A = this chain, B = another copy of it.
Amino acid sequence: MPSHRSLLPPSLTAMKRHILLYGLLAGGLIALLKVVEYRYLVVTHSVEIYGGLVAALFAGLGIWLGVTLTGRPERIVVKEVPVVVQAPATFVADPARREALGITKRELEILKLMAAGMSNKEIADQIFVSENTVKTHASRLFEKLGARRRTQAIHTAKGSGLIP
């Protein structure tokens, strides 16, 4: 069960804190001005000074508030930097081309191992079948690829995008 801290999002709680602070400051300032007003200003200066003082104070406060409270949404400037990426050495194309030629998964598997330079015996040992089975798969593979030799099969398979 997730911990219960606040149902309000953090930005809202922060704003609440700021508003409270603002109110307190405003109250304090007004009280201060009240005191000042009756002690010196009204007797020696005009209302303009009083207004200017208040204006300056609240302008400053507003600026601070504007900068602080409205958690400035940073402008995200996306700088696009070209990065040279090596062409996909991965090679992903399989199913479509394979099926188009009627080549089974097993046959393709043998094709890949053949292309890796393995003999029929090595392939047989690798995939745990007899050498005869590998030969059978290879034969059918050659037929489907129109090849008479394994080297030719590899060559045309590469041309067809069956193998990298």
Contacts and interface: CB of A to CB of B under 8 A. Distances in A.
Interface stretch (A1-9, A57-65, A102-110, A125-133): A57-65
Interface string A29-72: 01001000100000000011011101111111111111101101
Contacts of A152: 117-118
- As for how many copies of this chain the complex holds, the number is 2
Interface residues of A, number: 59
Contact of A80 (B73, B81, B87, B118): B81
Contacts of A63: 62-63, 65-66, 69-70
A48 B86 CA distance: 73
Most buried by B among A51, A76, A80, A81: A51
A84 interface: yes
Most buried by B among A69, A79, A116: A79
A148 to B, nearest CB: 8
A78 interface: yes
A10 interface: no
A155 B77 contact: no
A14 interface: no
Given A75-B72, A83-B81, A58 B47 contact: no
A58 B155 CA distance: 80
11 contacts: A30-B52, A33-B51, A58-B58, A60-B62, A66-B66, A72-B73, A74-B74, A78-B79, A117-B154, A117-B156, A118-B151
